[in-house]
Amino acid sequence: MLSLLIADDHPLYRDALKGALKLKYQALSIHETGDLNTTVSALEKTEFDLLLLDLHMPGSSDLFGFLHIQKTFPDLPIAVVSGTEDAALISKIVGLGATGFIPKTASAEDIHSAIDAMLEGDVWLPESVRLKIKDVDENFSKLAEDVASLTPSQYKVLCYMRDGLLNKQIGFNLDIAEATVKAHVTAIFRKLGINNRTQAVLIASELQLEPPAKDEEL
């Protein structure tokens, strides 16, 4: 039986995607999650044939969720599903190893074609962006690999550092002790191979990371 995980925080879109999939695949098991933490938990418990991953669900702003899951589950095929059809972003995703990119505007027919191609091991992209895809340079690949080594907690601290917050402010926003923030900052510097906040900001900005919501749990 084909087993898919839909990771998206919009229930209506998950329902629409499930409906499109069930039109074609009879022997199909679909699981759903709505944030990065529950997605990782589901992946730890169940083996899936394909993950359909929204880039912008809670805990997974832009590329971090994709990078984190890819590093944690290297054999898992990941298809990014997003409302953003930016060729530069799609180039990065594919260059970093995504199995494909499905825009949220895709028709049921395109979704079926995409799933079929990806399950066969091919990379699927919408026709509108196929000729616009560019190679990812080595520097960006190295940055992505380093960021993938961060924990979700460290990632949140990195985002707030990018926004110019001091350790005390970060601790207040995340409801953790300033000493804990300092420990995260030290770990971030070590994993990213840097020694100051300016370098951290540059890395976060290049990867288009977004600040987390204040109520997200560490």
pLDDT confidence band for 69 (50 / 70 / 90): very high
Q: Are 154 and 187 in contact (CB under 8 A)?
A: yes
Tokens 């895809």 locate to 133
The confidence score (pLDDT) of residue 211 equals 44
pTM of the model: 0.82
d(Cα 56, Cα 205) in Å, to the nearest integer? 16
Using DSSP, state whether 68 is helix, strand or coil.
Answer: helix
Q: By C-alpha distance, which of 86, 45, 61, 71 is closest to 191?
A: 71
Chain centroid to Cα 65, Å, comes to 3
Residue at 181: amino acid letter: V
Mean pLDDT along residues 70-76:
93
190 CB-side CA count, 13 A: 8
Give the model's pLDDT for residue 24.
Answer: 87
Which candidate, 90, 79, 71, 75, places its Cα nearest to that of 122? 79
Residue 115 has pLDDT above 60, yes or no: yes
Lookup: tokens for 171: 């601790």
Q: Report all structural domains of the chain as residue ranges with CATH numbers, in order of start.
A: 2-132 (3.40.50.2300), 150-206 (1.10.10.10)
Q: Which residues of 129-159 are buried (b: 16+ CB within 10 A; e: fewer)?
A: beeebeebeeebeebbebbbebebbbbbbbb
pLDDT value at 101 more than 90: yes
* Surface-to-core class of residue 189, CB atoms within 10 Å of its CB (0-12 exposed, 13-18 middle, 19+ buried): middle
Average pLDDT of span 144-153: 89
Residues 6+ apart with CB under 8 A from 146: 191, 192, 193, 203
Is the pLDDT assigned to residue 214 strictly greater than 70?
A: no
